[in-house]
Structure 1
Amino acid sequence: MDPLLTFDDRDGAPRFEEAQCRAAGAGLAEHYRTAEPFPHIVIDGFLDPAILRTVAAAYPDRADKSAFDRDQERRKYQYAPEEIDDARARNLLAQLNARPFLAFLEELTGIAGLVPDPYFTGGGLHETLTGGHLGVHADFNVHRIMRLERRLNLLIYLNDDWRPEWGGDLELWDKAMTGPVASIAPVLGRAVIFNTALDSFHGHPSPLACPPDRSRRSIATYYYTAPEHGVASLPSRTTNFRMRPGTDDRPDRRVAFEHFVRDWIPHRLQPLARRLNRFR
């Protein structure tokens, strides 16, 4: 199967071609915009698997790296482009932020004026080790440096020969958190693109059961727009983890308290509320 998007490598600088990107995005737009529980799409054969295998082989040594290690997310690592030595892997990350790829996303989603994140805040390369997980959550909605609203997530999986019994499926949950509507295995070449909103709940919440010499790997890039009235008009939210019914998931009380402070306590009194909370 030919990949959906190909690299033009005629001059030794691989990049996407804008006309192809626009056509590919437009052809999938209806499927994307009508998907449940929120606009999304799953695309197999998204990019050349040889390119993705190059990226998978370029992961940095995690010996001196700290992983997320709390109830809501455990044994998960993130790597920014500057931590990656392989030039081809860095180039792919750069191309996912370039104009031709933004054209693909805009045609696909109908969201105009998309802005990439040169800071790769929360993005880059992700890796979760056996026993690790990422609880069901909605993502932070404001980029604090760029002062933009988060609108889209792109995930591209890098896992060759991934077995179903290892788990790690990405789950998309309904807005009422009654259950997952979609479950997506993280197999090589599969891309998932979805709208991000305060109720776009997703995660891979069950602990991975892969062998110790394997891990769940993916590329993650995020995209933003400039709200007409600025981000001050938006409710500012950090990553909001939710508990699945009938499980022993634990609430993220720190985040719940922060949202309460931002919503209900006058701005000038918020630093005092945070200090008092530390001494509880």
Structure 2
Amino acid sequence: MDSSKSKQISELIYNKIKEKEVELKASYNASKNKIGYFYIDDLLPVDLAKECFDVFPDTSQMRCLKSIREYKYVSAQMDKHHELLEQVLYAFQHSKVVNLIGEICNIKSLYADESLYAGGLSQMAHNNFLNPHLDNSHDAERERWRVLNLLYYVSPDWISENGGHLELWPNGPKKEPVVVESKFNRLAIMATHDTSWHSVNQVKVDRSRCCISNYYFSDEPLKETDQFHVTKFRGRPEDTFTNIVLDLDANLRMLVRKVFKNGIRKNPHFYKKKK
């Protein structure tokens, strides 16, 4: 990867966020008692954002996750894809960007994740979805708390009617969600903790919603009540059967993690870099 190009992109990201710092901090503070979040549009120059979409991998080059929980395509093995995507992804991990976002969210110890544990690229095609869920509370080694989710959307002309939008459930997954549209060249940042339920509604068109994602971790949880938990899914409010199945699924996986701290198998979703 050309680290100098990644640093140049990080400067663009930093300058755009810095320009909007006051209003972004206000947005986060206004929502942080439930699920802190903010978003910023026109993050990168339009030509650069469009190029990210143009070089995004086909779904055949990504891992398909299809179950009652979710239906989407993901990849963290960045050296298999166009170099620009890796440059942009790691631009969000430069210390200036991480520290600025930490200041906006008032998080003192904040770390990017070079291994891309559960991060990287995601693509949601026609009929794909992600049910309401809580993210796993920790990193792969259970040493740091997962505290922020960064989602950068690069699909041009993505409109409300397309679906595939981020949903936040500040009053729990039985109430109404707040919809954050997956607009082109938008960066959305949300807090992750033990009540930060979120989802992606179903894609309704024969196109793909493409996203470059990062997680940030911290030495401390965002809430004093936070405890270790595995990723926990629910169905939508009207889907009683799915809720029953996914509750059993989450309880079983949590029981396994109590017995085996690092799980029975290692999560394959991380960047296996060549030495």
Tell me which interval the TM-score lies in, with the shorter structure as reference length. Answer: 0.7 to 0.9
Q: Structure 1 residue 179: deviation in Å?
A: 2.1
Residues 171-205 of structure 1: per-residue CA shift (max 9 Å, x gap): 11134323234112211012211110011000114
**Paired residue for 2:55?**
58
**Paired residue for 2:238?**
246
SS of residue paired to 1:219: strand
Matched residue type, 2:212: I
SS of residue paired to 1:119: coil
1:128 and 2:121 matched: no
Q: CA RMSD of the aligned region, Å?
A: 2.9
Residues 231-253 of structure 1: per-residue CA shift (max 9 Å, x gap): xx973322111222222661323
> Which residue among 124, 133, 154 is the counterpart of 1:158?
154
1:69 and 2:66 matched: yes
**Paired residue for 1:179?**
175
**Paired residue for 2:208?**
215
SS of residue paired to 2:128: strand
**Paired residue for 2:220?**
227
1:16 and 2:11 matched: yes
Gaps of 5+ in 2: 265-275
Q: 1:194 to 1:139 in 2, by over 3 A?
A: same
**Paired residue for 1:258?**
253
C-alpha distance in 2, partners of 1:96/1:51?
15
How do 1:23-172 and structure 2 match up within 5 A?
A: 24-35=20-31, 37-86=34-83, 88-145=84-141, 147-172=143-168
Matched residue type, 1:34: A
Larger gyration radius, structure 1 or structure 2:
1
Gaps of 5+ in 1: 1-8, 275-280
Give TM-score, length-normalised by structure 2: 0.80
**Paired residue for 2:267?**
none
C-alpha distance in 1, partners of 2:167/2:39?
12
C-alpha distance in 2, partners of 1:113/1:172?
25
Give TM-score, length-normalised by structure 1: 0.79
SS of residue paired to 1:142: coil
Matched residue type, 1:219: I
C-alpha distance in 2, partners of 1:23/1:163?
26
C-alpha distance in 1, partners of 2:241/2:208?
23
Greater percentage in strand:
1
Aligned length: 251
C-alpha distance in 1, partners of 2:200/2:16?
32
